[in-house]
Amino acid sequence: MTGLVGIGAAEPAVPGNSPAGTVLLGLLDDPENQNQRELSWHPGTDSHLAVLGSPRAGTSDCLQLVTSGLVAAQPGRHLYILDADGSLAWLAGAGQTGAYVGPQDTKRAARVLAFLAGEAVARMASAGGATAGGSHTSRAAEITLVVSGWARWCTAFRSGRGLAGEDDLADLVRDGERAGICVVIAGERELLNSRFFPLIPNRLFFPADASAETLLLWPRLPAMDRITGRALVQGRIGTAEGLAAQLLGQEPHSGLPGLPDGVPPPHRIEPLPAIVAPDRLTAEPGTDSVAVGLCGDELGTAAAQVPRGSVFLVAGPPGSGRTSFLRQMQRAAHPSLDVFSGNSAADFQENLDAFLAAPGTGLVHRLLLLVDDADLLPAPVHRRLAELQSQGARVVLAAASGPQLTARVPLALQVRSAPRGALLCPASPVDGDIFGIRIDTALRRPPGRCFLVEGTQSVEAQTAYRDE
């Protein structure tokens, strides 16, 4: 293996006898045939790739080679990056990158895996998604998921409430090849012990810096120097027993190509911003929908549904953004609605009596009442609000969340039977009980982060805010 020592930096290129899109990784030593040949990998024909060992042993360099080779050789292939150590941050702005997720955003990482698992199922179920032999033939762009530092992700998924990222990744490894989705994953003992590891057809073991206990769990190594970049290669790109190989050196990244003409952009899975300007929202066409913020993978407009004669509850602790939520509803309300807002008994006393004194005029049906600090209003005001709501007015109530909410705000009882509202920055797991939902309160959320509830459905959104 002495002939592999001292390989210099080289740009990933397509080996001469390999199909287009192949990534050159290094040089493979085959002593049985008395030769050395190129170590190359193609995500379509070779499929998933596991990289085991510590970053100092060469696993980070290997992921750099794989990703830079993919960007250069297959610019139309969509990428999704779960980067636990920050080594792949240069891919965040690539046109083919649908999502780049750092270790601080475990929930979005789970969203990425859930989307890809669902995409794999949809592609296999589609009429043109697979041939009789099981290979992907859909016109949809092929996808590569790259995961660095699996140990950190694995721990985060297991400790997080309601996160199925590990199960979704196992589904991807099992079904991805038939759906045109390839997984490249780097890790150490947690990867080796995972239930999906036996399904990965290509494996690179980097023994430099590995402990004796770790080597006991690995396949038997051939005679090879344990230096950085030296690896045991098993699977389709090597042999079943394994061959020794040396990685190429990696040159600095010179730039990112754009998507080729005719290739659709990837489905984006963006993080919710901490601040949203009202002008980023799209106006809702009907009187029952009010644009309040941004939500979803690609940051579309989130709308609150407030039909005629309904009660919409805005619940959250002090400082969570309840008042800003009402101001956004006032800004975005349909022009045909008569909007009245207030937060004290003096604001409502005379005006509510005037509204009640005008039955049959259609005024009540056009009325949108925005009531801030509803839990501080006296009982007579709540009775008038209930009368107006029964006659067809839309009533939006903002109040502090907690177990005594329905006692302080009688109209909130209607929300318990017909959930409709927004829960902002819950401080306790029981804050969402009135809507029939439970939210993980261990995560820190910015003011204005809310969960819009409509019946049995809830969606996380960021409320639009303007300093006034």
List of residues 6+ apart from 413 with CB closer than 8 A:
406
Measured between alpha carbons, how far is 243 from 361 in angstroms, rounded to an integer? 85
Burial grade of 24 (CB within 10 A; 0-12, 13-18, 19 or more): buried
Task: Please check whether residues 227 and 372 belong to one and the same domain.
Answer: no
Determine, yes or no, domain membership for 12.
yes
Q: Is residue 63 in a domain?
A: yes
Q: Determine contact, residues 412/401, Cβ cutoff 8 Å.
A: no
Q: Does residue 273 lie within any of the structural domains?
A: no
Q: Is residue 272 part of a domain?
A: no
Token pair listed for 273 = 């911003």
Residue 251 backbone dihedrals phi, psi, to 5 degrees: -85, 160
**Residues 240 and 320 grouped into a single domain:** no
The residue type of 11 is: E
Mark whether 164 and 302 lie in a shared domain. no
Examine residue 267 and state whether it is found in any structural domain, yes or no: no
Structural domain ending residue among the three candidates 224, 247, 270? 247
Instruction: Mention every residue, 6+ apart, whose C-beta is less than 8 A from residue 221.
Output: 205, 207, 215, 232, 242, 244
311 and 206 part of one domain: no
User: Which amino acid appears at position 66 of this protein?
Assistant: V
Count the helix, strand and coil residues of the chain and give each as a percent rounded to the nearest 5.
30, 25, 45
CATH of the domain at 83: 3.40.50.300
Q: Which domain holds residue 431?
A: 278-463
Helix residue ranges per DSSP H, 24-89: 59-73
287 & 213 share domain? no
**Cβ–Cβ < 8 Å for 348, 297:** no
Helices 150-159, 106-125: axis angle to 10 degrees equals 90
Q: Which of 87, 57, 84 is CA-nearest to residue 232? A: 57
CB 219 within 8 A of CB 204: no
The verdict on 194 and 295 lying in the same domain is: no
Boundary-marking domain end, from 247, 269, 294: 247
**What is residue 262's DSSP assignment?**
T
Are 238 and 283 in the same domain? no
Residues 240 and 292 occupy one common structural domain: no
282 vs 119, 255, 289, 465, CA distance in Å? Answer: 27, 34, 11, 15
Same-domain pairing of 371 and 459: yes
| CA–CA dist 83, 101 (Å, integer) | 6
| pLDDT tens for each residue of the chain, 468 residues long | 445 554 443 344 445 566 788 999 999 998 888 889 999 999 999 999 999 999 999 999 999 999 999 999 999 999 999 999 999 999 998 999 999 999 999 999 999 999 999 999 999 998 454 443 444 434 578 999 999 999 999 999 998 777 889 999 999 999 999 999 999 999 999 999 999 999 999 999 999 989 999 999 999 998 888 999 999 999 999 999 999 999 998 776 667 878 888 889 999 999 999 999 999 999 888 899 999 999 999 999 999 999 999 999 999 999 999 999 999 999 999 999 999 998 888 888 777 877 777 665 567 888 999 999 999 999 999 999 999 999 999 999 999 998 889 999 999 999 999 999 999 999 888 899 999 998 888 788 899 999 999 999 999 999 999 987
Name the burial class of residue 362, with classes exposed (0-12), middle (13-18) and buried (19+) by CB atoms within 10 angstroms of its CB: exposed
**Phi, psi (deg, nearest 5) at residue 220:** -65, 130
Segment holding 189, helix H or strand E? helix 189-192
Please state the pTM of the whole predicted model. 0.84
Do residues 195 and 317 both lie within one domain? no
Query: Same domain for 145 and 22?
Result: yes
User: What is the residue type of 126?
Assistant: S
Alpha-carbon distance of 358 to 338, in angstroms, equals 14
Provide the residue count of the chain: 468
Task: Clarify whether residues 357 and 435 are in a common domain.
Answer: yes
Strands (E), 316-456: 338-342, 367-371, 394-399, 420-424, 449-454
Count: domains in the chain? 2
Task: Check: CB of residue 447 under 8 Å from CB of residue 273.
Answer: no
DSSP code per residue over 321-338: SHHHHHHHHHHHS-TTSE
